[in-house]
Amino acid sequence: MTENLPLAKAINLGLAKALAADPKVLLMGEDIATLGGVFRVTEGLKAEFGENRVIDTPLAESAIVGTAIGLAMRGYRPVCEIQFDGFIFPGFDQITSQLAKLTYRHEGSQSFPIVIRVPYGGHIGAVEHHQESPEAYFAHTPGLRVVSPATPHDGYWMIQQAIASNDPVMFFEPKSRYWQKGEVDRETPPGAFQASRVIRMGTEVTLVGHGAMVAALLQAADIAASEGTSVEVIDLRSLSPIDYAPIIASVQKTGRLVVAQEAPGHVSVGSEIAATVAERAFYSLEAPVMRVSGFDTPFPPAKLEGNYLPDADRILEAVDRALAF
């Protein structure tokens, strides 16, 4: 049985299930308790689980992460919400210098099962610091796991899998998809947590992306199909580690790969996939791996975001270049 739910509600239900299943799970962040979060992802959870498990914190990102580390040492499994992508950097030191390294520093005697939820990405017409895609910083950092759900079904299950992980997980939520509905099956157990997944079969070009970009990839695939080009689409789902097996298998079939992301392209997740596919599937490639990215500029003022963010047309332009080789 499935239900048609928006992503925000699916994550909310996943959080509620995790809170109910394990008394050590805590939610903490700015405005998450009484207000339910600025995106209402935690709405109703304080009423259901109490103010000691759904905790409004003072306004300090470094302390949200740093105290979550101490709570994990005491046996809790904190789920931190960072209010917006661009506000994560005051907490960057605690995430990268402390959280990411503490299991290693403890030589395994202590786990740090902390989830950091980050609404990320553009398409919402917001002011500066509210539309960014900083996931590459964290994917570059050993000791962190980085995931991003593209659908409500994955939102429901992946947040629970992230909380169940014994490692720190950066959980990037595509905020432009929060209110898009999709089918959620709350009965069927989920697949592997950090597996990438072929979500549309095709034969001529492979498209790879994560988060909100997945919808654009599917839209591009539809348009390509209407023009007679068969496109395979892979939802990356995990940015660290990256599950390459489905990508390599797909490229061995199609010979062409386009990687799309909202983030700037320089030293990005897309760059890493392009390099790895070139190393591992060189003789299968009929064309260079193409990257479609945000530009290497700060995120522009919102009236220009339509020109900045990759969309189906930009993806198809790269598909055309790949096919022309």
Partner 1 sequence: MSSDATVQLLTPDGKLVSDDRTSEYLPWIEKLPESRLLDFHRQMVVMRRFDTEAGNLQRQGQLALWIPSIGQEAAQVGSGYAAAPQDHLFPAYREHVVGRIRGLDLMRIIEMLRGLSHGGWVPSETGNFHLYTLVIGSQALHATGYAMGIALDRLLDVSNDGAPTLRDPEKDAAVLVYFGDGASSQGDVSEAFTFAASYQTPQVFFLQNNHWAISVPVERQSRTPLYLRGTGFGIPSVQIDGNDVLASYAVTSANLLSARSGEGPRLIEALTYRMGAHTTSDDPTKYRENEEVAYWGARDPIARYEAYLRGQGVGDDFFAEVAQEAEDVAADARARTVLLQDPPTTKIFEHVYSDPHPLVDAQRDWLAAYEASFDTADGIADLEGAP
- Active-site residue numbers? 130
- Using CB under 8 A, which of 12, 98, 131, 133 touches partner 1? 98
161 scored as a contact of partner 1 (CB under 8 A): no
- Using CB under 8 A, which of 5, 9, 19, 67 touches partner 1? 67
Q: Which is nearer to partner 1, 18 or 215 (CB)?
A: 18
DSSP 3-state assignment of 161?
Answer: helix
CB of 122 to partner 1, least distance (A): 29
Task: Please give the backbone phi and psi of residue 171, each rounded to the nearest 5 degrees, phi first.
Answer: -115, 100
Dihedral of alpha carbons 123, 267, 318, 182, sign:
negative
191 scored as a contact of partner 1 (CB under 8 A): no
Dihedral of alpha carbons 171, 146, 23, 5, sign:
positive
Q: What is the DSSP letter of 140?
A: T
Question: Would you give the binding string for partner 1 spanning residues 123-142, x where CB under 8 A is met?
Answer: -------------------x
Q: Is the distance from CB of 175 to CB of 124 less than 8 angstroms?
A: yes
DSSP 3-state assignment of 185?
Answer: strand
In sequence order, which residues have a C-beta less than 8 Å from that of residue 88 and are 6 or more positions away?
61, 82, 95, 116, 118, 134
Tokens found for residue 142: 């050993």
Distance between CA atoms of 239 and 249, rounded to whole angstroms?
A: 18
Distance between CA atoms of 97 and 218, rounded to whole angstroms?
A: 37
Q: Are strands 238-240 and 290-294 parallel, antiparallel or unpaired?
A: unpaired
CB of 21 to partner 1, least distance (A): 15
CB of 95 to partner 1, least distance (A): 11
189 scored as a contact of partner 1 (CB under 8 A): no
157 scored as a contact of partner 1 (CB under 8 A): no
192 scored as a contact of partner 1 (CB under 8 A): no
- Using CB under 8 A, which of 1, 4, 75, 283 touches partner 1? 75
Dihedral of alpha carbons 202, 257, 222, 249, sign:
positive
Which region, judged by CB under 8 A, interacts with partner 1, from 71-79, 204-212, 220-228, 263-271? 71-79
Which region, judged by CB under 8 A, interacts with partner 1, from 8-16, 74-82, 221-229, 251-259? 74-82
Distance between CA atoms of 38 and 55, rounded to whole angstroms?
A: 14
Which region, judged by CB under 8 A, interacts with partner 1, from 152-160, 165-173, 176-184, 201-209? 165-173
Q: Which is nearer to partner 1, 46 or 175 (CB)?
A: 46
Q: Which is nearer to partner 1, 16 or 63 (CB)?
A: 63
103 scored as a contact of partner 1 (CB under 8 A): yes
74 scored as a contact of partner 1 (CB under 8 A): yes
Q: Which is nearer to partner 1, 86 or 310 (CB)?
A: 86
CB of 107 to partner 1, least distance (A): 4
Which region, judged by CB under 8 A, interacts with partner 1, from 38-46, 109-117, 129-137, 149-157? 109-117
For residue 36, CA distances in Å to 32, 48, 71, 255 come to: 4, 12, 22, 46
Q: In sequence order, what DSSP letters do the residues of 61-76 get, joined into one string?
A: HHHHHHHHHHHHHTT-
| Positions in the binding site for partner 1 (CB under 8 A) | 23, 26, 52-53, 57-58, 60, 62-63, 65-76, 90, 93-94, 97-98, 101, 103-113, 142-143, 145, 165-167, 241, 279
